Structure 1
């Protein structure tokens, strides 16, 4: 996988310096999703890159990284997350699958649509846009965590003197502490399993560890979890690249 341009990562930091806000389905913030997309773009095969560009009318993955948030509706909002913390970070369709309306099934369903070349081009283009976003969502740990606090949205914290919540902190707040060189220089990770269930369960295993002992986020917390955040962004890009390479070259 090619290195991410440091200038792109720097844009993430600039965005993260803004006021921290979050909704229940806004993983990583706009620029965080762009990082995942840029990592994936660099890892596409020539064939997959050409197929993606054709579906996106010449655009790249980063250009549609937040499309799923921009077009989110009551029907699609649950596709951005899954709550598994209360179930020991294990996926159980009956217990936490929400009737198939969750990020795991969304990735599966949109992958199938993208792979089906008999489907209308518009459907496949939208499926690609969804995948670019949802694979980023599933790597934001709090999109796979506890239902009881809405994935950290109801857990109040203070960061840099500002009142926010844990979900927002992970969406964008910690990006102010990320090091551009660290993200750009991370080696291409082994994307591991191709099953989004495994991705969500691993992400949830992180989510249950990120609750701070104090509501004030201190430098020790930032030092501990910023590298975790950076690795999740990198891993999301690697997994998205492999998924698209598999689907678009089949």
Structure 2
């Protein structure tokens, strides 16, 4: 596809002034002002012409334009009404031929359970304050998503992609693993944002895989994961007693699943939690 005119620092500030938007921590708004970073995200996500991509929190449209430049159809979910209203206008001005490939949904991403088309990829600069809940929500409700790349706070990104035994391995790591394989796909400079955040960011990529098990098993598994990591220092015998009723019942269930009750949650793989949930 031919290159479009992407947004730079001056355009971002002009659009913010035009819409009356002052970036807020409450909504996790840090707008991308670097076209090279936008194209890098699109490239890492392997977005191709004809793909249907869902973007969460498009903001002023930096990444949206990059996705449209690649030839994708974009479904953009935006909670801020001013930004949702302005985005089609911005695209019409800078990429008139691409307007038919943009759909804007003005809604809180955590309440979205249906979309006008089935997206194959999720590509987004996720708001820092809700990145994990939003990511898991979309993976749960949209099985058509096969892959994606999200930009998140570095600490969060490393936690999502972490494996068992890592210091940052936790409930988000296990829940993300239910849906697919994850990797940290690169670091991002703070300077490509406006305003400049006080934290580092990373790109996290995923490839979805099919998992044996229905929604009931997923819920039981996630309940065990939440309990196991709610009190990280406690052994599974203690931490899972809230799920099984008491420590003795938790120990019996763990023994039946072939898991030592003296272990802690951070030592278990997703398959261990699934095996335990299958017997409960």
Please give the TM-score of this superposition, normalised by the length of structure 1. Answer: 0.24
Higher helix proportion (structure 1 or 2): 1
Please give the TM-score of this superposition, normalised by the length of structure 2. Answer: 0.22
Tell me which of the two structures has the higher relative contact order, counting C-alpha pairs closer than 8 angstroms and 6 or more residues apart: 1
Higher-Rg structure is 2
